[in-house]
Amino acid sequence: MIVCKFGGTSVASAEQIQKVANIVKSNPARKIVAVSAPGKRSGDDIKVTDLLINLAMAALKNEEIEEELQIVVNRFMAIADGLELDHTICDVIAEDLHERVKGDKSNEELFIDSIKAAGEDNNAKLIAAYFNSIGMPARYVSPKDGLVVNDLPERTYALPEAYANLAPLKSTKEIIVFPGFFGYTKAGILRTFDRGGSDITGSILAAAVEAELYENFTDVDCVFSANPKVVNDPVEIKEITYREMRELSYAGFSVFHDEALMPVYKIGVPVNIKNTNNPSAPGTRIVPRRSVTGRPVTGISADSGFSTLYVSKYLMNREVGFGRKLLQILEDENISYEHTPSGLDDISVIMRSNQITLENEERILSRVKNELNADDVQMRHGFSMIVIVGEGMRNNTGLAARAATAISKTGANIEMINQGSSEVSLVFGVLQEYENQILQALYGEFFAHARV
Amino acid sequence: MIVCKFGGTSVASAEQIQKVANIVKSNPARKIVAVSAPGKRSGDDIKVTDLLINLAMAALKNEEIEEELQIVVNRFMAIADGLELDHTICDVIAEDLHERVKGDKSNEELFIDSIKAAGEDNNAKLIAAYFNSIGMPARYVSPKDGLVVNDLPERTYALPEAYANLAPLKSTKEIIVFPGFFGYTKAGILRTFDRGGSDITGSILAAAVEAELYENFTDVDCVFSANPKVVNDPVEIKEITYREMRELSYAGFSVFHDEALMPVYKIGVPVNIKNTNNPSAPGTRIVPRRSVTGRPVTGISADSGFSTLYVSKYLMNREVGFGRKLLQILEDENISYEHTPSGLDDISVIMRSNQITLENEERILSRVKNELNADDVQMRHGFSMIVIVGEGMRNNTGLAARAATAISKTGANIEMINQGSSEVSLVFGVLQEYENQILQALYGEFFAHARV
């Protein structure tokens, strides 16, 4: 059995949904289909999800909502018309939206969640209706029937019983059309997943039914070895391990949200990133393990917006508990960190700058200075992290030398280097302004002859 | 005022103590002299401290101690004879040892401490007597008069009031001869410092009297830029900052115990490492800061005996508190660590292998696996750390590239790289068997033309 997920652009219009039907039909193993809400049909289009947020906001402000609501219905109606479906489905959708708008507004976040989820939920109903109309027996299944998520206030995730609840879908005769992006708490409250939410739903379904493959249909042919916005015509990645994919999850690799990999990663279901608009392209396969070919590096990613907390103290490395206490101070501010390179008497904590405010920066600096008796404490901003990833880097003598040499040729100074004993990734910290130049230099070093 | 410290080989014999007298006499600023116990006179000699340990052991076993005690007295007698002192001082020493042996044995560690300290204590009395005998007015001062240390069970360190207590020594007319290696708790219990103990005493005295200089006399001309046992004829270091010295404190730089630098570091007293046997050599100066000359690297040190705890977990870097909890587990085992290089989903904790036992390794692995739900946990042994240090490395583009290239030419794989934002050190983790080869290669890279 194959679980397929179709992203927003893949289900944005009647034409796109026809492509989806053809894809599903062409392989009888494709029995479970997770769908997003209709996305953009062109660059300046508005996603249904954003239309729904407008609706939710209007409702929360007790404004007239009929117009906002009708815009959403019209969008679905255009799709239904294009698919030659009668308007029954549109009535269902309009009624559903009216019901949701009347819902409990005591918790604004949950209210917005319930409105936003209408995009996926109704699109799944519509697509199931369409499949049936063209002779593909299909059934809409609601997340209410098993996709149990945790309660507030933690970010949403599927509870272990969700997998058991959804497992029986593996014996389905019809094609299951399942809305992405949300689940229900045990108390029946709708909660949406974070970004990449439909990817997560597909991944949960694939894990629950122990699918042979999880196909993730989007609008690109594959994952590239470097960000195509920075590197000209980068090499396509045919196969990549979960772990490589995860290490590359900085900018330029956002085609598949890393958190969404978790459920399939846990039980080893391979993933295939494919293009709805070019389904014959092999795409990129994400697998538990792979044989390493000649090229040691699989991909290079880069991201800006990092800050460094630098702490030095004489004889730091003799002090049992110093590092732990430092991290505790960050934890108290609910700050997660990326790396902690250290000398004998100093340690730098690298973290995302978006977690730092003027207030918590001051608190952190003062606590480190006073509670840890540090000799020197500084917070610096404006760093980028460049990550070179490849299973083939393990035991590859000289690779760090090549990377550092390529960077030094750009004239940039390496502010931080980090290579752990996993050896599938090598991280360089540099000043933000050098990021693109370094990414290009490293790509040139490791992929220059890749197409020869 | 200059505080001088003379190490074990500098006070091992009458001839050596005559050199000490000449050194002290040659500069009237040398007013405070901290001394070790007599060390080895030749390669197969036994240090007085080791003779005293034998004595302490015999006393603890209630064996006949007279012979062991007489060996110690004889050693001092030979020195006294060589210095043409009468035997009064030897009677004082013999009586002192008999007193100590009769001391409280209820805490064996403290009993051994009190016997061991007799080496420094009596040597200071003897040297003060000798100085007086040759017309250098001198006075033995006991650590009882001010060098207050903390109570058990923590390792010994000087309490803040020790500095205030010892400060009046700055107005001394006579030369003060002060035994190294030990102090007394407020309750009057003798406790010794760890390795390098006489260096610490000298450093405490230099800080207490705010000396212009702390001269540390030993048996080498200087600190070398690399371990002379591994690298042929390494460059001498003329000047080095505290911080560089500290970062180099791995093997091959043990000429000055790093903990001993702390008191002078805190108030910025410069240190001069000098050779008792060649006092005209300029030695190595350790200073708060220095102007960087042409060469970016000041020294390269290496040490073996490291282990790596490798932990991987999917989405680790999203989990606020993961690193802190991991370090807490090590702290619970009282294990200190050196570095924690990390990828996005894995972290390696590098620590000294001598802290790991079969029992705590098993406990650590099981706690990390169960409490942190790690996907993979492994402990690996047999690593060396190579540290390249230099204030001139800051903003030195291409230095990491040169280092990594030099290492890769040896054929060794780099298991770990760590460079924090202090940028005065760059650490490479390698398999132990490559350590010497890499040290030689790096020395060649950064110092090859140093003498040209």
The string of DSSP letters for B87-101 reads: THHHHHHHHHHHHHH
Nearest residue in B to A250, CA atom: B344
User: pLDDT band for position A328 (50/70/90)?
Assistant: very high
pLDDT of residue B251: 58
The reply to whether B299-447 shares the fold of B2-219 is no
With 60 as the cut, is the pLDDT of residue B327 above it?
Answer: yes
Q: How many CB atoms lie within 10 A of CB B411?
A: 10
Residues A251, A242: Cα–Cα separation, whole Å: 17
Task: Specify the CATH number for B2-219; select among 3.40.50.720, 3.40.50.11540, 3.40.1160.10, 3.90.1170.50.
Answer: 3.40.1160.10
Residues B185, B156: Cα–Cα separation, whole Å: 9
Under a CB-based contact definition with an 8 Å cutoff, are residues B341 and A420 in contact? yes
User: pLDDT band for position B258 (50/70/90)?
Assistant: confident
pLDDT of residue A252: 55
pLDDT of residue A11: 97
Q: In the block, which residue shows the tokens 């005998």?
A: B133
User: pLDDT band for position B196 (50/70/90)?
Assistant: low
With 50 as the cut, is the pLDDT of residue A181 above it?
Answer: yes
pLDDT of residue A345: 83
A398/B408 touch (CB, cutoff 8 Å), yes or no? yes
With 90 as the cut, is the pLDDT of residue A67 above it?
Answer: yes
Of A175, A172, A126, A133, which Cα lies nearest the Cα of A25?
Answer: A175
Residue B112 backbone dihedrals phi, psi, to 5 degrees: -60, -40
Local structure of residue A255 (DSSP, 8 states): T
A324/B331 touch (CB, cutoff 8 Å), yes or no? yes
- Strand, helix or coil for residue A190: strand
For chain B, give every domain's residue range: 2-219, 299-447
With 70 as the cut, is the pLDDT of residue A422 above it?
Answer: no
Domain B299-447: give its CATH code.
Answer: 3.30.2130.10
With 80 as the cut, is the pLDDT of residue B422 above it?
Answer: no
Under a CB-based contact definition with an 8 Å cutoff, are residues B412 and B438 in contact? yes
With 90 as the cut, is the pLDDT of residue B392 above it?
Answer: no
Tell me what the pLDDT averaged over chain A comes to: 92
B388 interaction partners in chain A (CB closer than 8 Å): none
A420/B346 touch (CB, cutoff 8 Å), yes or no? yes
A340 interaction partners in chain B (CB closer than 8 Å): 323, 340, 342
- Size (chain A), residues: 452
pLDDT of residue A376: 92
Q: Which helix (H) or strand (E) holds A449?
A: none
- Strand, helix or coil for residue A287: strand
Q: Which of A344, A375, A381, A397 to mutate to test the interface with B (most CBs of B within 10 A)?
A: A344
Alpha helices in A134-231 (DSSP H): 160-166, 197-208
pLDDT of residue B252: 54
How many angstroms away from the CA of B107 is the closest CA of chain A?
Answer: 26
Residues A430, B222: Cα–Cα separation, whole Å: 37
pLDDT of residue A259: 78
Tell me what the pLDDT averaged over chain B comes to: 92
The larger pLDDT score, comparing residue B320 to residue B183, is at B183
**For the purposes of burial, counting CB atoms within 10 Å of the CB of A31, is it exposed (0-12), middle (13-18) or buried (19 or more)?**
buried
pLDDT of residue B294: 77
With 80 as the cut, is the pLDDT of residue B277 above it?
Answer: yes
- Report the pLDDT averaged over residues B75-82: 96
Local structure of residue B315 (DSSP, 8 states): T
How many angstroms away from the CA of A208 is the closest CA of chain B?
Answer: 19
Cβ-Cβ contacts under 8 Å between A and B: the total is 203
Of A145, A141, A174, which Cα lies nearest the Cα of A162?
Answer: A145
Question: Which residue from B345, B400, B408 is facing A247, i.e. has the nearest CB?
Answer: B345
Question: ipTM score of the complex?
Answer: 0.78
pLDDT digits (tens, 9 = 90+) for A255-303: 677 778 889 998 999 999 999 999 999 999 999 998 887 788 999 999 9
Q: Which residues of A419-444 are buried (b: 16+ CB within 10 A; e: fewer)?
A: bbbbbbbbbbbbbbebbbbbbbbbbe
pLDDT of residue B452: 39
